[in-house]
Amino acid sequence: MGSIALRSLDYWLIRYRRTWRGSAASTVLTPVLFLAAMGVGLGSLVDRSGSAGNLGGVSYLAFLAPGVLAATAMQTAAGEATYPVLTGTRWVRTYHAMIATPLSAAEVFTGHLVWMVVRVAMTCLAFVAAMAAFGTLHSAWAPLALPAAILTGLAHLTPVAAFSARLRNDAGLAALFRFGIMPMFLFSGAFFPVSQLPALLRAVAYGTPVWHGVALCRGFTLGQGLTVGSALLHAGYLTGWSAVGFVLARRSYQRALVR
């Protein structure tokens, strides 16, 4: 079944080829702009105010970059698992074309998921490259931040796809971004330690998969704050979200496509 699911990859690739220039440019430029403005610009203020103690003794740029890497993985995943999924179920109905062939609804999802992971990986790779250019990879463990970020993306891809496949229109997506993705982007430890949050919000932040992604990526690039045990715990939590989302998404696709 694995290889049958991959039959739809050519479709996603051909679609991407039509728009890749614009998309690739923003994939490469966004992290550079972000790290320059937030990390270097804002960072110089933060560092001068003597906050390094709260940040674990590193520069704001070094603190911020891996956090935003994980948050960007989440955001990219949310983008890939929303509008393109509705394109398949409702707008272009490409999924419906697929299930008239030997592909099953579950295989349609699996094939698209593989493509989504490829897209998330491309974005994360560009981000890690920018981080290297800004000199924010401070540890020999730093390369592991890339798979950690991709896993963070996966933990959002599958549940968001499960949600999107059930929607009739994109009204639900606006709500998802406004009340889900956006707050998580801002408050899950990418920009400041969640220890700064009130206790209740802190508890919520610990429950979000992206906080675990941030902790993992930051631990790897800074080479501090992670033990083998805590790293496995974070990775396990993200894997759990990915797996539960995977099962739910396959069900959603079945319900949306086979009626």
Partner 1 sequence: MPVPEAPDGGAPPYISARGLTKRFGDFVAVAGIDFDVARGEAFGFLGPNGAGKSSTMRMIGCVSPVTGGTLRVLGLDPVTDGARIRARLGVVPQEDTLDLELSVAENLYIYGRYFGLPRRVIRERTAELLEFVQLAERANDLVEPLSGGMKRRLTIARSLINEPDVLLLDEPTTGLDPQARHALWDRLFRLKQQGVTLVLTTHYMDEAEQLCDRLVVMDKGAIAAEGSPRQLIDAYSTREVVELRFGEGEQQDVSGKVDGLAERVEVLPDRLLLYVANGDATLAEVHARGLAPSSALVRRSTLEDVFLRLTGRTLVD
The alpha-helical segments, DSSP class H, found in 87-198 are: 94-99, 105-133, 145-164, 171-176, 182-187
Q: Of the two residues 10 and 44, which places its CB atom closer to partner 1 in the complex?
A: 10
Q: Of the two residues 3 and 49, which places its CB atom closer to partner 1 in the complex?
A: 3
Question: Of 37-45, 100-108, 117-125, 180-188, which segment contacts partner 1 by CB under 8 A?
Answer: 100-108
Q: Does 114 bind partner 1 (CB under 8 A)?
A: no
Q: At residue 55, what are phi and psi to the nearest 5 degrees?
A: -95, 10
Task: Give the number of residues in contact with partner 1, rule: CB under 8 A.
Answer: 23
Radius of gyration of the chain from its Cα atoms, rounded to whole angstroms: 19
Q: Of the two residues 16 and 141, which places its CB atom closer to partner 1 in the complex?
A: 16
Q: Which of residues 2-41 bind partner 1 (CB under 8 A)?
A: 4, 7-8, 10-11, 14-15, 18
With CB under 8 A as the contact rule, the residue among 181, 217, 238, 257 that binds partner 1 is 257
Mapping DSSP onto H, E and C, the string for 187-217 reads: HCCCCCCHHHCCHHHHHHHHHCHHHHHHHHH
Dist CA 227 CA 184 (whole Å): 25
Q: Does 97 bind partner 1 (CB under 8 A)?
A: yes
Element of type H or E holding 58: none
Residue 225: left if φ>0, alpha if ψ -120 to 50, beta else—which one?
A: left
CB of 77 to partner 1, least distance (A): 23
Q: Of the two residues 98 and 190, which places its CB atom closer to partner 1 in the complex?
A: 98
With CB under 8 A as the contact rule, the residue among 23, 30, 94, 239 that binds partner 1 is 94
The answer to whether the beta carbons of residues 155 and 213 sit under 8 Å apart is yes
CB of 102 to partner 1, least distance (A): 4
Give the Cβ contact number of residue 227 at 10 Å.
Answer: 9
Tokens of 6: 């991959």
SS3 255: helix
With CB under 8 A as the contact rule, the residue among 27, 59, 82, 104 that binds partner 1 is 104
With CB under 8 A as the contact rule, the residue among 29, 54, 57, 93 that binds partner 1 is 93
Tokens of 179: 């009340």
115 exposed, middle or buried (CB, 10 Å; 0-12, 13-18, 19+)?
buried
Q: Of the two residues 72 and 104, which places its CB atom closer to partner 1 in the complex?
A: 104
Q: Does 259 bind partner 1 (CB under 8 A)?
A: yes
CB of 21 to partner 1, least distance (A): 15
CB of 165 to partner 1, least distance (A): 16
Question: Of 96-104, 171-179, 208-216, 241-249, which segment contacts partner 1 by CB under 8 A?
Answer: 96-104
**Residues forming the site for partner 1 (CB under 8 A):** 4, 7-8, 10-11, 14-15, 18, 92-94, 96-104, 257-259
